[in-house]
Chains A and B, each alone.
Chain A
């Protein structure tokens, strides 16, 4: 499983670079290195490569290089980045909510509060589904099922402690059951858990909306709700918030600078990122990739990181994955 994700990723990277080679030299003289703390091709890597493309094409950096440091949900890359990018004016890191969870559950000595947030970039909704033949028609039905017997409500989704697991725990808690009793069966990714959903082996499933979009549209899976705070055009399922559950969970990604980057250096980086995010090139990328814009500037992002870290830790504690 591990291998093939890695290679798949590799392909995607290699793919995404083709055609980017002739980036325009720009007025800006930034020569940046972006660390993607994951193998080539996954979410963080494609975010890093897309940012690379947009920064060069929009002329907000002279050159951008992407370095992949895979391992342990990103904590290997984060630790390396913190070591090498201290005070550096030209090193960036792409990371997201998974890294927050991985730092906690791997008991990593470093986490995202140790680096300097520049901007939150994208955020994708998670979706809660049930099999086509399931008697559960609405999120309220699902809550009733959970309340009736939390152990027999079998959830499937991505790796233990990841965003999917957290959402399952939050929904369980909101349904009035003990989140530590959630029967969450972890699979290595959206693919295998999809097979378990289609085979009817689970009560409910969680995944990134994009991964299961095909089966939702074809009617093989019934989407009950998305975890985004607001409705998203083109997605029929309504947000949990609109259905009476005070839960929002977004698979966000953001960009960071090293520890102790201050003053002029920090301003230059922030300016370059902000300009890039507002460029036409970035908007085009979001559209083709199917990412939802979830931009927040550095200071807002900083408070957001702190609150997400607390929230994820609380949930992971409640399901027994952190102490």
Chain B
């Protein structure tokens, strides 16, 4: 269950260090391009520079810790399950993006998430998801008159 790092360098903190350096660079770049200056006191860029510096320090910290033995055990992950949830969220986002509406989106979200947890009865879950989505939609749109994104399904009501 537990991966032992093969080499003397811990990969995870090293990768994170690189990410932190990148974020620091982006933040620095963004701050240096700010045109508006405050007339009195500090400008908006001051906080950005501070955070960039903080990231730089943390990046160095991670780099140092990459050469120390790891103090955490990383479990093996079931990436297939993670991918299913990714698909579930993508289903919701795409459905709303392309005008598929809220009910379709939450149906996909529900069914695919259930699939990620190992359920095989996709049809049952699709129905259940649709019922929940419809219930929520009716509750919001009809009872509370709050506009959730509408698609072909929603227009039937």
A pairs with B = yes
Task: Report which A residues bind B (CB closer than 8 A).
Answer: 10, 13-14, 17-18, 21, 40, 67-68, 151, 180-183, 320-321, 323
Instruction: Give the distance in Å from the alpha carbon of A151 to the alpha carbon of B39 in the complex.
Output: 9
A205 to chain B, nearest CB (A): 17
Task: Report which B residues bind A (CB closer than 8 A).
Answer: 35-37, 39-40, 144-147
Residues of A contacting B39 with CB < 8 Å?
Answer: 180-183, 320
Residues of B contacting A40 with CB < 8 Å?
Answer: 146
Instruction: Give the distance in Å from the alpha carbon of A231 to the alpha carbon of B101 in the complex.
Output: 50
A14-B144, A14-B146, A68-B147 known; A183+B36 contact, CB < 8 A: no
Whether A151 and B145, one on each chain, are in contact in the complex, defined by CB atoms closer than 8 angstroms, is no
B91 to chain A, nearest CB (A): 24
Task: Please name the residue on chain B nearest to A161 by beta carbon.
Answer: B36
Whether B146 and A10, one on each chain, are in contact in the complex, defined by CB atoms closer than 8 angstroms, is yes
Instruction: Give the distance in Å from the alpha carbon of A182 to the alpha carbon of B144 in the complex.
Output: 45
Instruction: Give the distance in Å from the alpha carbon of A21 to the alpha carbon of B141 in the complex.
Output: 12
Whether A323 and B146, one on each chain, are in contact in the complex, defined by CB atoms closer than 8 angstroms, is no
Task: Please name the residue on chain B nearest to A150 by beta carbon.
Answer: B39
Instruction: Give the distance in Å from the alpha carbon of A104 to the alpha carbon of B147 in the complex.
Output: 30
Residues of A contacting B147 with CB < 8 Å?
Answer: 67-68
* Contact with A323, one of B35, B37, B144, B145 (Cβ below 8 angstroms): B35
B99 to chain A, nearest CB (A): 12
Whether B35 and A17, one on each chain, are in contact in the complex, defined by CB atoms closer than 8 angstroms, is no
A16 to chain B, nearest CB (A): 10
Task: Please name the residue on chain A nearest to B40 by beta carbon.
Answer: A183
Residues of A contacting B40 with CB < 8 Å?
Answer: 151, 183
Instruction: Give the distance in Å from the alpha carbon of A129 to the alpha carbon of B36 in the complex.
Output: 28
Residues of A contacting B35 with CB < 8 Å?
Answer: 323
Residues of B contacting A68 with CB < 8 Å?
Answer: 147
Instruction: Give the distance in Å from the alpha carbon of A220 to the alpha carbon of B64 in the complex.
Output: 58
Instruction: Give the distance in Å from the alpha carbon of A249 to the alpha carbon of B147 in the complex.
Output: 34
B14 to chain A, nearest CB (A): 36
Whether A17 and B145, one on each chain, are in contact in the complex, defined by CB atoms closer than 8 angstroms, is yes
A19 to chain B, nearest CB (A): 11
* Contact with A320, one of B37, B144, B145, B146 (Cβ below 8 angstroms): B37
Instruction: Give the distance in Å from the alpha carbon of A14 to the alpha carbon of B146 in the complex.
Output: 7
Task: Please name the residue on chain B nearest to A66 by beta carbon.
Answer: B147
